[in-house]
C-alpha cells in the first residue's frame, strides 16, 4: 500500500508498511506551484555553496557522514518500516553512503581543479589553456524506492561536492526516509542547498522543468519520458534504468561459491536491486551440482521484515503481481519451481524465494525485468551459447562470470554487452566508487561514480585561453597584411599535414 491520498494534489498522505500494513508515517505532498520557488531558493543558496570551494564543502559533507553514522539505527528502523526490508538489507545503505562521502571528500579538490591542456602545436605555446569545472546550479534527482538512502545520496553527494544545489524527488512510496536525510543535512550545519519535492509524476515533471541537470533512476519506460521532458529545455540527463543481469557459470567454476553468490545476488533486497542476478546460464558439466547447491542455500533463507530475516517484503502488491506473473507463466510453459513458486496467504507483499529450472527465452522470467526474488537457471552446452543468450536482451546494466580461471572469465566478460562485469563475485561493482557504474542499451545513459567523472558530470566545462606573452597577438587580424595571414595559414597547414602523414605511415 502507498499513500491513501492523491499524491498529485497538495495535502497529506499516509504511508503504510508493506510487510504489515501498519501506518509507517505521514507525508505532506509538495504543491506543484511551490516547485519553482523551491528551485529558485536553491539557485540563490548555490552561489555561496560554490564559493566555499572544495575544501569548505568537504567539511560539511564529512559532518553529514558523521551524522549518518550516529543516527544509523534510526534510519535503518525507518527503512524497515517504510519498505518492509529485512534488517540485513536495511543495514547496507548507510555504509555505502558513508563510503561514497569518504571517497569524495578525499578526492574532490583534485577532481574539480582546473585542467591545464597542452598547446596543439609549438606556435600556440604562447597561450595557456585551462579547462574549468563550473557546477550546474540546481541538480534534480528523481530517486526510486528500492534503496531510499543509497539511491538518493550516491547521486546527491557527487552533485553537492561539485558545488551544485540538489532538488531531490524521492519515490512517493518512500518519502519518509528522504525527510529524515534532509533533517540530517540540516542538523549537520549545512546550508540550504538540499531540498525535497514530494509527490509522483507531476512533481517529477516540475522538477525536470526547474532543474539544470537531471539524474533519474528507475524503469526504462519512465526514463524515456524523463528524457523527452528534459529535451524541451535541452536539460542534460543521466539515466540508470532497468536491467536483466545475467550470470554465467563455467564448468570449471567453484560451484559452491557460485551458487551462494547467485542466491545472494538474486534475493538481496527481495530481488529489488538494479544489478540483481536475474538469470543464470550454467555450462552442462556444472549444472546439476550448481542447482543442488542453489536449492540448499535458498531453503535456509528466512523471509520477513526486520531482524532475524534474510529477505523482506516487496514494496507493494503491484510488484508482487509482476513476480507472480513471471513465475506462473514460466510454470505454465513447462518450467519447474524447485523452491517457492506460489504467492503466500496472509498480510504483507511477500513472495517466497523461487528457483526456476527448465526455462528458456520464450519465458518472461528470462527476458523481462522481474525485480523480485526469483532465480531462473538455464543449462547451456557451450560458452558461446552462454554469451549469446546473455547478450540476447534489450538491457545491458551488469553481469557476472564464474570460472576457476580468472583470465578465461575476463575473456568472457569482455564479450558481454553491459556496463560492468563482476568476476567470481556479485554486486561488487556497487562498491567501486572509483569506476563508472552505468548501463548500455536500454539500461541507461551516462554513469554514476567514475572517480573524478562522478563529480564532473554535474559541471559545465569552461575553457579559458590566456596569453603567456604579448608576442604574436593579432598576427592574423584584418588590420595586418594579407602576407602575414598567408604565412600563418601556411605554417598551420604544414604542421598539421606533417603530423597526419607521420601517423598514416
pLDDT of residue 7: 58
Indicate if 466 belongs to the active site: no
Q: At what angle do helices 53-70 and 72-83 cross, to 10 degrees?
A: 70
DSSP string, 32-45: GGGHHHHHHHHHHH
129 within 8 A of 143, measured Cβ to Cβ: no
pLDDT at 501: 76
Burial of 253 (0-12, 13-18, 19+ CB in 10 A): buried
pLDDT at residue 348 greater than cutoff 60: yes
* Alpha-carbon span 353 to 98, nearest angstrom: 30
Q: Which of 20-24, 237-241, 484-488 is the least confident region?
A: 484-488
Read off the pLDDT of each residue in 281-297 and give the average, rounded to a whole number: 98
- Residue with the bigger pLDDT between 170 and 482: it is 170
Confidence at residue 180, expressed as pLDDT on a 0 to 100 scale? 98
CA distance 432 to 422: 11
Name the helix (H) or strand (E) containing 385: helix 383-391
In three-state secondary structure terms, 153 is: helix
Classified as helix, coil or strand, 355 is: strand
The total of other beta-carbon atoms located within 10 Å of residue 32's CB is 16
Query: 479 versus 308: which is more confidently predicted?
Result: 308
Q: At a CB cut-off of 8 Å and minimum separation 6, what does 75 contact?
A: 68, 93, 94, 149, 177, 180, 181
Q: Are 31 and 9 in contact (CB under 8 A)?
A: no
Looking at residues 227-231, what average pLDDT do you find?
A: 98
Q: Any idea of the CA torsion for 318, 322, 328, 329, to the nearest 10 degrees?
A: 140
| pLDDT-derived band at 285, boundaries 50, 70, 90 | very high
pLDDT score at 6: 46
Residue 2: pLDDT above 70? no
Instruction: Order the strands of the 138-142 sheet from edge to edge.
Output: 194-196, 165-169, 138-142, 213-217, 237-240, 444-445
- Of 74, 223, 78, 50, the residue nearest 139 (C-alpha): 50
H helices of 239-341, in order, are: 255-267, 284-299, 317-332
Q: What is the mean pLDDT of residues 259-266?
A: 98
The CA distance from 168 to 179, in Å, is 10
Q: Where are the alpha helices (DSSP H) in 71-112?
A: 72-83, 87-90, 93-111
Q: Is the pLDDT of residue 186 over 90?
A: yes
Task: Name the percent of the chain lying above pLDDT 70.
Answer: 95
According to DSSP, residue 306 is labeled B
Percent helix / strand / coil, the chain, rounded to 5: 45, 20, 35
Of these residues, 50, 76, 172, 240, which one is catalytic? 240
Quick check: 221 and 373 in contact, CB under 8 A?
no
Least confident stretch, 68-77, 325-334, 340-349, 482-491: 482-491
- Confidence band, pLDDT 50/70/90 cuts, at residue 202: very high
Q: What is the pLDDT of residues 422-468, one digit of tens each?
A: 999 999 999 999 999 999 999 999 999 889 999 999 999 999 999 98
64 has a pLDDT exceeding 70:
yes
Q: Which residues of 446-455 are buried (b: 16+ CB within 10 A; e: fewer)?
A: bbbbbebebb
In order of 182, 312, 428, 431, the CA distances from 96 in angstroms are 17, 20, 12, 7
What pLDDT band is residue 485 in, cutting at 50, 70 and 90? low
Looking at residues 392-412, what average pLDDT do you find?
Answer: 98
Q: What is the mean pLDDT of residues 331-337?
A: 98
pLDDT (average), residues 203-210: 98
pLDDT at 1: 35
Set of cell numbers at residue 285 = 558439466
Q: What pLDDT, on a 0 to 100 scale, did the predictor assign at position 504?
A: 80
pLDDT at 493: 75
- Residue 401: name the closest of 387, 389, 381, 391 by CA: 387
Q: For 26-58, what is each residue's pLDDT tens digit?
A: 999 999 999 999 999 999 999 999 999 999 999
| Radius of gyration for the chain, computed over Cα atoms and rounded to the nearest angstrom | 26
Question: What's the Cα-to-Cα distance from 35 to each of 202, 211, 222, 348, 446, rounded to whole Å?
Answer: 11, 10, 20, 34, 26
Smallest CA-to-CA distance from 38 within 232, 223, 199, 224 is with 199
Check whether 158 has a pLDDT greater than 80. Answer: yes
Cell of 213: 541537470
Amino acid at each position: 500500500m502507498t499513500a491513501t491520498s492523491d499524491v498529485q494534489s497538495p495535502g497529506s498522505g499516509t504511508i503504510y508498511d508493506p510487510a504489515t500494513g501498519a501506518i509507517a508515517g505521514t507525508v505532506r505532498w509538495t504543491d506543484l506551484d511551490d516547485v519553482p520557488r523551491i528551485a529558485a531558493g536553491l539557485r540563490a543558496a548555490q552561489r555561496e555553496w560554490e564559493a566555499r570551494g572544495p575544501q569548505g564543502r568537504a567539511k560539511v559533507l564529512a559532518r553529514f557522514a558523521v551524522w549518518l553514522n550516529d543516527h544509523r539505527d534510526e534510519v535503518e528502523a525507518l527503512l524497515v518500516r517504510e519498505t518492509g526490508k529485512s534488517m540485513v538489507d536495511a543495514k547496507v545503505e548507510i555504509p555505502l553512503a558513508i563510503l561514497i562521502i569518504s571517497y569524495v571528500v578525499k578526492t574532490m579538490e583534485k577532481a574539480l581543479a582546473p585542467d591545464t591542456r597542452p598547446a596543439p602545436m609549438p606556435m600556440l605555446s604562447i597561450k595557456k589553456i585551462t579547462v574549468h569545472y563550473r557546477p550546474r546550479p540546481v541538480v534534480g534527482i528523481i530517486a526510486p524506492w528500492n534503496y531510499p538512502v543509497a539511491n538518493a545520496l550516491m547521486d546527491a553527494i557527487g552533485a553537492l561536492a561539485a558545488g551544485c544545489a540538489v532538488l531531490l524527488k524521492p519515490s512517493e512510496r518512500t518519502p519518509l526516509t528522504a525527510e529524515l536525510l534532509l533533517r540530517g543535512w540540516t542538523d549537520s550545519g549545512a546550508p540550504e542547498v538540499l531540498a525535497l519535492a514530494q509527490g509522483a509524476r507531476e512533481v517529477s515533471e516540475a522538477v525536470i522543468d526547474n532543474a539544470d541537470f537531471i539524474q533519474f533512476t528507475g524503469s526504462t519506460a519512465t526514463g524515456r519520458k524523463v528524457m523527452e521532458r528534459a529535451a524541451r529545455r535541452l536539460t542534460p540527463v543521466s539515466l540508470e534504468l532497468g536491467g536483466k543481469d545475467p550470470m554465467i557459470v563455467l564448468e570449471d567454476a567453484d560451484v559452491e561459491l557460485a551458487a551462494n553468490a547467485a542466491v545472494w545476488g538474486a534475493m538481496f533486497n527481495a530481488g529489488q536491486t538494479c544489478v540483481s542476478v536475474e538469470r543464470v546460464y550454467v555450462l552442462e558439466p556444472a549444472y546439476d551440482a550448481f542447482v543442488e547447491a542453489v536449492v540448499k542455500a535458498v531453503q535456509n533463507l528466512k523471509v520477513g521484515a526486520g531482524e532475524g530475516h534474510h529477505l523482506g517484503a516487496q514494496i507493494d502488491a503491484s510488484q508482487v503481481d509482476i513476480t507472480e506473473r513471471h513465475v506462473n507463466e514460466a510454470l505454465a510453459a513447462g518450467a519447474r519451481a524447485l523452491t517457492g513458486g506460489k504467492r503466500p496467504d496472509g498480510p504483507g507483499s511477500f513472495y517466497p524465494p523461487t528457483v526456476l529450472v527448465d526455462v528458456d527465452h520464450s519465458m518472461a522470467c528470462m527476458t523481462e525485468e522481474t525485480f523480485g526474488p526469483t532465480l531462473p537457471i538455464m543449462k547451456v552446452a557451450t560458452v558461446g551459447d552462454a554469451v549469446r543468450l546473455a547478450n540476447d536482451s534489450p538491457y545491458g546494466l551488469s553481469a557476472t562470470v564464474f570460472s576457476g580461471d580468472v583470465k578465461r572469465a575476463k575473456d568472457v566478460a569482455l564479450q558481454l554487452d553491459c556496463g560492468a562485469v563482476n568476476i567470481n563475485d556479485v554486486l561488487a561493482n556497487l562498491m567501486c566508487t572509483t569506476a563508472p557504474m552505468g548501463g548500455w542499451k536500454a539500461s541507461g545513459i551516462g554513469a554514476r561514480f567514475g572517480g573524478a567523472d562522478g563529480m564532473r558530470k554535474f559541471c559545465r566545462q569552461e575553457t579559458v585561453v590566456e596569453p603567456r606573452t604579448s608576442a604574436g597577438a593579432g598576427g592574423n587580424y584584418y588590420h595586418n597584411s594579407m602576407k602575414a595571414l598567408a604565412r600563418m595559414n601556411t605554417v598551420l597547414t604544414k604542421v598539421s599535414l606533417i603530423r597526419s602523414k607521420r601517423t598514416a605511415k
